[in-house]
A and B are shown apart, each in its own frame.
Chain A
Amino acid sequence: MICAIASPCSRVLPKMSEPHRLHPAAIMLWTLRFARELFIPAIIPLGIQFFRHGLDILNAQTMVLVAAGLLVLLLASGTYGVLAWRRFTYRIDEGELHVEQGVISRNRRFIPLERIQAVDLSQGLLQRLLGVVRVQVETAGGGRSSPEVSLAAVSRDDANRLRRALAGQHETLDERPQMETPAPVRRLAFADLLIAGSTSGRVGIALSIVVSIIAFADDLIPFDAIAGQFGRLSGFGAVVLAALLFAGFVWFLGVLGTTLAHAGFTLTRDGDNLTIERGLLERRHATIPIDRIQSIRVVEGIVRQPFGLVELRIDSAGYGEHSGESTVLFPLLRRDDVLPFLREMTPALAALATFNQLPSRARRRYALRLSQVGPAIALAALPAIALFPLGLVALLLIPAVMLLGLWQYRTAGWVVENDTLLLRWRILSRTTVILPRRRIQQAESRRTPFQRRVRLATFAARVASGGSGAAFDLQHMDDAEANRLLTWFAAGHRTGTTEL
């Protein structure tokens, strides 16, 4: 098996405390990666020659040179791959994960197991072909953009053993017997997968980008020439048609992207851990300790809300690519299923009670939100002036944005249930965030001069998430109520009981 090849683990099932090498497939992965990095700089001289001499460079001499170059490239990459593999070892010893790596500069990293926030197993296309998995270890407050430790290729068995050893911290502490009841499992049905894809918020974002590109690329793309293919359409009609076709294409891409990413989405609760498996081309496997979950977001996309469909996301300390980025907990649920679902998957949670609405004097502030009305005016002004009579239609954008503001006002609300704060707001999607009091790290109330005049305030709660935390704002609350929320937050820590 693999262990027979890798020298330090030639004995049967070596202990985790002895240095392990990666699966030899890592040599190939690293070779390819290094070759790819070298390839572009290597091809530049060839490109220059081509520009100078055109097809004349296609002679025997250059062929030999190119072949020799490729050979050197492969040799160098291969050597690098082997060296990188030989130098890379990992082991778990005395409650720490030790990783040593580096070809030119050696790097040693020790990570205490209790600092580990999540262990991800994933398979790219290459890993699938080679039958290995990638293991990524995340810690709180680690690097912002990359996981703390990435093991490029580990055999399935080793990966599972490693994951148990890394995440097993909790089990070894309380030594409780394995639960007999089967772990709750939730799978995304295929029909739901398609619904999730076709209603995913990404479509909206992608659409708006495409529409704005079209608006600006009008001169660059020969729409009129394309329109010729569709018969005698006017220039304007052609633009609309092309935009629609393009929008359809982008929508399709969105469906495809979400479908591929969420195919076979399975969420399992295994004692103190949640395990998420998903993905078609790239199979991902994430383990998140439940006690590291900081907050839960219920997101109702603008297309999904009328159908009572929601997406669940979580913020987890030290998890997510960037700070404030959340992880999908489950891509598609009926709204009525949310509470039973959360009760099954996470510690008991308060009911979604009736939300306190914002005071009526906040309505004006929402309708005239500078952050929305400002850009709307700026966007509408250009076409209104440039295409004078017809362009005035663009001004409709301004009342539309004001209506959106009123909708946001009606959506916004908050409620305190025992030891949990729920905030709800809308940008386009309606988002409800569930914040256990003991997870809130900081809370604040902000008041602009306008807000001070009418006794309003913006309340914000920060939780740990990714590198430096996520903030949830509720704009234009009654300022006395914002103070009450601050008091409630502070009170949770006065009694001396920090545990729930």
Chain B
Amino acid sequence: MVDQTVPGTRLPAEPSQRIDARALKAWRMQGLLQSAVIVLFAAATGLGLWQLGIVWWIAAIAPVLAVIVSIALIWIVPAVRWRHWRYEVSEQQLDLQRGIIILTRTLVPMVRVQHVDTRQGPILRRYGLASVEISTAAGTQEIPALALDVADDLRNRISLLAGVAEDV
């Protein structure tokens, strides 16, 4: 489908690498925590309305919605997100593809990278994962949930490749 106007610059149909399989667990855990908060609030609201003598099926709207959102947050969103997430780091560029409903493909040339960080929140740490954040002068991209050693490798590699720094 891609017009091959310049030889050797063809973009692959998809970046080659997937992110770590444990990401799924980490995101489900994250979804579980978020859902717990949502369900708690919704239950309190529903109970409050019911106590005030509102018809039961109106009082039930918020809790039912909360349950649907929870199912999405715990099962659907992480799975779709993981399936869509792909990345590829070559000498010249970062190639990222992600999205849940909207699929986004982003190219970041190495010479544009200003700095790279790895980050590890409490949930990611539990699963031995870390995310890599890549900053350019026009914003930040993140590759979430890679195995810790993969993330460290990637960070070092990107910072080496980007080392041929050029200012804005």
A residues whose Cβ falls under 8 Å from a Cβ of B: 114, 140-141, 292, 317-318, 441-449, 452, 462-465, 468-471, 479-481, 483-484, 486-494, 498
For A487, list chain B residues within 8 Å (CB). 2, 5-6, 9-11
Q: Is the CB of B9 within 8 A of A114?
A: no
Residues of B within 8 A of A481 (CB): 3
Please name 29 pairs of A and B residues whose Cβ atoms are closer than 8 Å in the assembled complex, sorted by A.
A442-B107, A442-B139, A443-B107, A444-B106, A444-B107, A446-B103, A447-B103, A452-B103, A462-B138, A468-B138, A468-B139, A469-B136, A469-B139, A471-B138, A483-B2, A484-B2, A484-B5, A487-B9, A487-B10, A488-B6, A489-B109, A490-B11, A491-B6, A491-B9, A493-B109, A493-B110, A493-B112, A494-B8, A498-B111
Given A443-B107, A480-B1: A490 touches B9 (CB 8 Å cut-off): yes
A317 to chain B, nearest CB (A): 5
Contact of B108 among A442, A448, A480 (CB under 8 A): A442
Instruction: Tell me if B52 is interfacial: C-beta within 8 Å of chain A.
Output: no
Query: B138–A493 contact, CB under 8 A?
Result: no
Beta-carbon nearest neighbor of B1 in chain A: A480
- A464-B168, A493-B93, A498-B111 in contact; A486/B11 too (CB < 8 A)? yes
List the B side residues contacting A441 at CB < 8 Å: 108, 112, 136-139
- What's the minimum C-beta distance from A455 to chain B, rounded to whole angstroms? 8
Q: Which of B2, B8, B112 contacts A442, CB < 8 Å?
A: B112
Give bound CA distance, A292 to B107, whole Å: 22
Q: Complex: how many Å from CA A441 to CA B113?
A: 8
Chain A neighbourhood of B9, CB < 8 A: 487-488, 490-491, 494
Q: How far is the CA of A479 from the CA of B3 in the complex (A)?
A: 11
Q: A442-B106, A442-B108 are in contact. Are A494 and B138 (CB under 8 A)?
A: no
A483 to B6, CA, bound (A): 13
Q: In the assembled complex, how far is the CB of residue A314 from the closest CB belonging to chain B, in whole angstroms?
A: 14
Q: In chain B, residues 1-36, which have Cβ atoms closer than 8 Å to a Cβ of chain A?
A: 1-3, 5-6, 8-11
Tell me which residues across on chain B come within 8 A of A445, comparing CB atoms.
104-105
0 or 1 for each of B77-97: is its CB under 8 Å from A? (1 = yes) = 000000000000000110000
What is the interface residue range for chain B against chain A? 20 to 34
A480, B109: Cα distance in complex, Å:
20
B102 interfacial contact with A, CB 8 Å: yes
CA of A67 to CA of B99 in the docked complex: distance in angstroms?
Answer: 66
In the assembled complex, B159 has its CB within 8 A of some CB on chain A: no
Residue of A nearest to B166 (CB): A498
Supposing A317-B168, A468-B139, A469-B137 touch, asked if A448 and B11 sit within 8 A by C-beta, the answer is no
B136 contacts which chain A residues (CB < 8 A)? Answer: 441-442, 462, 464, 469
Given contacts A114-B167, A490-B107, contact A469 B92 (CB under 8 A): no
| Distance, CA A465 to CA B138, complexed state (A) | 7
Question: A486–B105 contact, CB under 8 A?
Answer: yes
A470 in contact with B138 (CB, 8 Å):
yes
Q: Which residue of A lies closest to B106 (CB)?
A: A444
Please give, as numbers and ranges, the residues of chain B lying within 8 Å of A468 by CB-CB distance: 138-139
B141 at the interface (CB under 8 A from A): yes
Q: Does B101 contact A (CB under 8 A)?
A: yes
Let me know if B5 and A141 touch, CB within 8 A. Answer: no
Q: Is the CB of A446 within 8 A of B109?
A: no
Residues of B whose CB lies within 8 Å of any CB of A are: 1-3, 5-6, 8-11, 92-93, 99, 101-112, 136-139, 141, 166-168
Nearest 4 A/B pairs, CB to CB = A469-B138, A464-B137, A441-B138, A493-B109
- Bound-state CA distance A445–B1 (Å) is 15
Complex contact B137–A489 (CB within 8 A)? no
Chain A residue with the shortest CB-CB distance to B140 = A468
| With known contacts A442-B107, A442-B139, A480-B1, A448–B10 Cβ distance under 8 A | no
State the CA gap A291–B165 with chains docked (Å).
16
For A471, the chain B residues whose CB sits under 8 A away are 138
Q: Please state if B138 and A443 are interface contacts (CB–CB under 8 Å).
A: no
What's the Cα separation between A449 and B84 when bound, in Å? 13
Take A469-B138, A484-B2, A498-B111 as given contacts and tell me if A443 and B106 are in contact as well, using a CB distance cutoff of 8 Å: yes
- B8, B11, B101, B109: which contacts A449 (Cβ < 8 A)? B101
Which residues in A have their C-beta under 8 angstroms from that of B167? 114
Q: Which chain B positions have C-beta within 8 A of A470?
A: 138
User: What is the bound-complex CA distance between A444 and B106, given in angstroms?
Assistant: 4
Interface centre among A462, A465, A488, A490, by most chain B C-beta atoms within 10 angstroms, is A490
Residues in chain A near residue B102, CB distance under 8 A: 446-448
> Among A442, A446, A479, which residue has the most Cβ atoms of chain B within 10 A?
A442
Q: Besides the contacts A442-B112, A490-B107, what 20 more A-B pairs have beta carbons closer than 8 Å?
A: A114-B167, A317-B137, A317-B168, A441-B136, A443-B106, A444-B105, A446-B104, A447-B104, A462-B139, A464-B136, A469-B137, A480-B3, A487-B5, A489-B107, A489-B109, A491-B9, A493-B109, A493-B110, A494-B9, A498-B166
Least Cβ distance of A286 to chain B in Å? 18
A487 to B1, CA, bound (A): 12
Residues of chain A lying within 8 A (CB to CB) of residue B101: 448-449
Contacts of A489 in B (CB 8 A): 107, 109
Report the separation of the CA atoms of residues A446 and B97 in the bound assembly, to the nearest whole angstrom.
9
Measured CB to CB, the nearest residue on chain B to A493 is: B109
